[in-house]
Amino acid sequence: MPVPPGADEETAEVVRGLYTDGIVARRGAFSREWVTQVREDLEAAFEEARGREGGTVGRGPNRYYVEIHPEQLRGFVELVDHPWVRTVCEAVLGPDYQVVELGFDVPFAGAVDQPWHRDFPMPEETRAGGRLTSLAFNLTAVDTEEDMGPFEVAPGTQWDWSEEFDHGMFPPKSLYPRYQERAVRKYPRMGDISARSALTVHRGTRNLSQRSRPVLVLGVDAPGAGNAEHHDMAVTREFHAQLPQRVRDHLGCPVVDELTPIVQKHTIEGLVMGEA
């Protein structure tokens, strides 16, 4: 696995974790007060998005995804400029990594088990070259409990590949026993953040509670990975000018005069109906 030369042990452990299990985490990276503000911003973004056509996209019954602009998140700079986030990105994706996606998933009461899936087809560079070219960071806006439909991941499956994967993303049900055997449910608390390969096979589980479980998503690419074309986030020139230079250097989105509401296009058709 490509541990950067001279990496300290913590960085090396992160790289090993992403190349073996496919997911790593940093507990208590942010304060609960900061996360409370994040949740307020996500709830406001959802209310705005649900009121217009194309503002949200379904990821199963009572489960939605919304992509947002960085200016809709007051803590954007603190998120992307967090030392652990920067370290993970540089170690795995290289010094010229690009932030290409900002959004959130929300499973509400009644959300059902998703089918096992990955977020997009495996790139050739990963399949043939064994290199991870993108990462998804997840930050929970609530303390996750068992009845809230926790995220479930099958460690080590970021390398699974078969022509039988539907759309390159959905493994055949004949492989489900493999994922069930490996399945690990995650119970992050407010302030925790995780990083994973979006190729690691995973799913959201049934939300039996009456509470929603919003999760912030930050997508980051290595140069040339190409995921930016699937997303429409942008920043205004005024906002861009106020960002620290080391944040601007890694922002892989257009700089515009005026923001327009995002019409969601990162649809994953196989998730619409859930597993039932």
Tell me the per-residue pLDDT of 214-261, one tens digit each, with 9 for 90 and over. 999 999 999 998 887 888 999 999 999 999 999 999 998 999 999 999
Q: What is the DSSP letter of 236?
A: E
Q: What is the pLDDT of residues 73-89, one digit of tens each?
A: 999 999 999 999 999 99
And the tokens for 93?
Answer: 């994706």
Task: For the chain, give the mean pLDDT.
Answer: 93
CB 146 within 8 A of CB 201: no
Q: Is the pLDDT of residue 94 over 60?
A: yes
What's the whole-model pTM score?
0.94
What is the model's pLDDT at position 226? 84
Q: Is the pLDDT of residue 269 over 70?
A: no
Q: Is the pLDDT of residue 272 over 50?
A: no
CB 66 within 8 A of CB 52: no
DSSP symbols for 100-168: EEEEEEEE-TT--PPPSB-SSPPPHHHHHH----EEEEEEESS---TTB--EEE-TTGGG---TTSBTT
Containing H/E element for 193? strand 193-196
Confidence bin at 212 (pLDDT 50/70/90):
very high
Q: Which domains does the chain have, with CATH numbers?
A: 19-226+235-271 (2.60.120.620)
